[in-house]
Chain A
Amino acid sequence: MSKIILIGANHKTAPVELREKLSFTAEETVAALEKLKNDEDIKESLVFSTCNRTEILYIPETGEQVERIIEFISQHKQVDKSEFKDNLYILEGEDAILHLFKVASSLDSMVVGEPQILGQIKEAYRVAVANNASGVLLNRLMHKSFSVAKKVRKETGIGDNAVSISYAAIELANKIFSDLSQKSVMLLGAGEMAELAVEHLISHNVKQIVVANRTFKNAVDLAEKFKGKAVKFEERESALAEVDIIISSTGATDYVMTRDLVKRAMKKRNHNTLFFIDIAVPRDIDPKINSISNAYVYDIDDLKNIVESNMEQRGKETVKAQRFIEEAVVKFRKWEESLSVVPTIKALNDKMTSIVDIECKKTLSGLKHLDPGDIEAIKRMTQAIASRTIHDPILFLRNTGDHRDDSLYLNVTRQLFNLDIPDDK
């Protein structure tokens, strides 16, 4: 039987510098798949690489070929084997399947439950299929991983809770405002933190971005980057009339937004809701602003608290997800086992025998005048027809090896004769 093997390194086993060295770009992935495809000892392969992991999933023709794959990575990425060998995990069979399902369901992610991973895996699979690198086994395995990931997402709360600061902030914004695309954002401070926060918001298509900074030039630069508007730092009070979300990350030692200032601004904006996100340390936004009605202030500690309580919730859901995954592994193994020669031939024989039995019974029940000898002869003849019909296909299936992909033919046979054990999608 074919072995499914997975070799990889992720954020748990390798530091970021090493992961960077091992990661495959889109072009490198295609080139790698091309090489693996032409390798006579590798039957099927798939390369999956994100910033948190690089994994190669493959099915060897013979043996395990682990050394070969490690050598391959080393050559392909120009990294010496000794540098990364200890950081690799090498999983086989059930362990490999389990790991893949966990990755797809986002249980193995750095931020457990984050939704991007499934899309990335689907993309890796698409590339493998487009390059003819994957085959019957991996195709089935990947499809199973998508369906189990979907089930985990749908039936556990694993993706429900924001477990990163910026997700938590956006989730809050979504519970305060009904439509973020109608809201404007002001950045106080033009540093790296501000930029990061806004990149997340941009993906939510806010109406406008206003940047205020003490060094006006930096404000202009950042505003240009996000197609926004720059204002002078002193203009921040009047700018409050037009924005709804304020993200502050200045290096100021004093509050840059005080309660009185916001109270004045609130009147001008007819008390429409303001949401302050203060990611600066020391804080920029006076926490007392939170007591003004329709103003909400969250500083970095508040956001961290929310993230932590969400993490706890997520832990409980993980147990449930684990169960779904284990079920899926068992199912896949069952299918895999059915792909060996003997069960397929047996299933084929059984099917033919049952067809012959049913048809004989139907016909003979209408032919009452036949004597037992005739009946016996007819029965033997129909059985002979059936077994002669499948004789050649069975011979073909028995004749394994020969550098051909047995699982492919077994799979085709099972599909042609509809022999598959029922399998819920």
Chain B
Amino acid sequence: MNLQFADVVLQITTALYFLSMTGYLMFLFNQKPVYQKAAFYLISSAIVCHFASMVIYTVAKGHVPIHNLPQSLSMAAFAVGCMFWVFHFKYDLKILGVFASILLSAIMLAVLMLPDAPVEKNAVLKGFWFYSHIALVFAGEAALALACGAGILYLLQEKGIKTKNPGFFFKRLPSLDLLDNVGYTCLTTGFALLTIGLVAGFIYAKTIWGKFWSWDPKEVASVGTWVVYAALLHLRLYSGWRGRKSAVMTIIGFLIIIFTFLGVNMLIGGHHQEFTR
């Protein structure tokens, strides 16, 4: 078990994600169920490989691979993969695989292209609260990524129906109701996970630095993201922001997440910075 082996497995994983994307795109155009099935098996095996590569890395280095930007991205991709898997079985929304596999392939391509910054083992990054914080935040953001995917599909379908010009997507996408439901479930799941994840982060901060809040830019941005999603949920529940408005908001929310994930560290800095170096 060594690092090179982990890298090779990660390359295989990426190849599988790309193959899966090809399968899903073929399914999108051709609508043959066999393509969708093949693509789903490919994405499932990619997720398993992905997990294996992270286990190999952890065993070899003695810590979880989230110490630089490629590793964090890879972890985020893994979280999206797992979430997609869960929602696939819950809703049988096959076409969401098109979004998921494109997103995963893009992230993994970035993971392989980015320079692998040297990793120093940091004694601070361990313990129950640290791992809870990481796992929950990544899982939550993955669910919100899928909410964005469902939102995009919703807007595509809605546009066709609203403009009375049902085109390419009309047959291929499910009903607006279903897409809205999936988006909503992803949203609530993601929001709940994110909330607990942030709380775990605060507790972790308290145990390490002795205070819950230190005005770290990432902390501010994360709470800002949380507030956006909280507002969206509130509007949806009490002001009837469902359908199109909700879909637009989940997409905007996810863009904010991407900014929080990458932009804040790169542009501003702070104690989360090293994860995305």
Which residue numbers of A lie inside 8 Å of B, CB to CB?
160, 172, 174-179, 266-267, 270-273, 290, 293-294, 296, 298, 302, 305-306
Structural contact, B170 and A175, CB atoms closer than 8 A = yes
Are A178 and B177 closer than 8 Å at their CB atoms? yes
| Contact across chains for A306 and B164 when beta carbons are under 8 A apart | yes
Complex alpha-carbon distance, A388 and B112, angstroms: 78
What are 20 pairs between A and B in contact, CB < 8 Å? A175-B174, A175-B176, A176-B175, A176-B177, A177-B175, A177-B176, A178-B178, A179-B177, A271-B241, A272-B240, A273-B176, A273-B243, A290-B162, A294-B242, A296-B161, A296-B162, A298-B164, A302-B164, A305-B164, A306-B166
Q: Does B171 touch A at the CB level, under 8 Å?
A: yes
The answer on a CB contact under 8 Å between A270 and B240 is: yes
Q: Which residues of A contact B161 (CB under 8 A)?
A: 172, 175-176, 296
List B contacts of A266 (CB < 8 A).
Answer: 240
Residues of chain B in range 139-179 having any CB-CB distance to chain A below 8 Å = 157, 161-162, 164, 166, 170-171, 173-178
Q: What is the total of A-B residue contacts with beta carbons within 8 Å?
A: 52
Give the residue among B161, B174, B241, B244 with the most A Cβ atoms within 10 A.
B161
Q: Compute how far the CA of A179 lies from the CA of B240 in the bound complex, rounded to whole angstroms.
A: 20
How many residues on the B side are at the interface (Cβ–Cβ under 8 A)?
A: 20
Report Cα–Cα, A179/B244, bound state, in Å.
Answer: 19
Task: Chain B residues near A305: list those with CB within 8 A.
Answer: 164
Chain A min CB distance to B132 (Å): 36
Q: Are B245 and A293 within 8 A (Cβ)?
A: yes
Point out the residues of chain A lying under 8 angstroms from B164, CB to CB: 298, 302, 305-306
Contact indicator A178/B175 (Cβ below 8 Å): yes
Most chain A CB within a 10 A radius of its CB, from B162, B173, B181, B244: B162
Q: A290-B162, A305-B164 are in contact. Are A176 and B176 (CB under 8 A)?
A: yes
Cα of A296 to Cα of B163 in the assembled complex, Å: 9
Q: Across the interface, which residues of A come within 8 angstroms of B171, CB to CB?
A: 160
Instruction: Given A305-B164, A306-B166, check contact A177 B177 (CB 8 Å).
Output: yes
B164, B171, B240 — which one has the most chain A CB atoms within 10 A of its CB?
Answer: B164
Q: How far is the CB of A285 from chain B (nearest CB, A)?
A: 13
Distance of B232 from chain A, by nearest CB (Å): 14
What per-residue 1/0 map shows which CB atoms of B177-195 lie under 8 Å from chain A? 1100100000000000000
A293-B243 CB under 8 A given contacts A302-B164, A306-B166? yes
A-B CB proximity, top 6 nearest: A271-B240, A178-B177, A178-B178, A178-B175, A294-B243, A302-B164
CB-nearest residue of chain B to A160: B171
What residues on B are CB-neighbors of A271 within 8 Å? 240-243
Q: In chain B, what residue has the closest Cβ to A270?
A: B240
Q: Which residues of A contact B176 (CB under 8 A)?
A: 175-177, 273
CA separation between A270 and B236, bound complex, in Å?
A: 9
Name the one of B174, B240, B242, B244 contacting A178, with C-beta atoms under 8 angstroms. B174
* CB-contacts of B79-124 with A (<8 A): none
| Set of chain B residues within 8 Å of A178, measured between Cβ atoms | 174-175, 177-178, 181
Q: How far is the CA of A199 from the CA of B171 in the complex (A)?
A: 24
In contact, A294 and B181 (Cβ under 8 angstroms) = no
From residue A272, how far is it (CB to closest CB) to chain B in Å?
Answer: 7
Q: Write the nearest CB–CB distance from B74 to chain A, whole angstroms.
A: 35
Q: How far is the CA of A270 from the CA of B176 in the complex (A)?
A: 16
- Shortest A370–chain B CB gap in Å is 58
C-alpha gap A174/B244 in the complex (Å): 18
Does A175 contact B175, Cβ atoms closer than 8 Å?
A: yes
B175: nearest residue on chain A (CB-CB)? A178
User: How far is it, in angstroms, between the C-alpha of A177 and the C-alpha of B177 when the chains are bound?
Assistant: 5
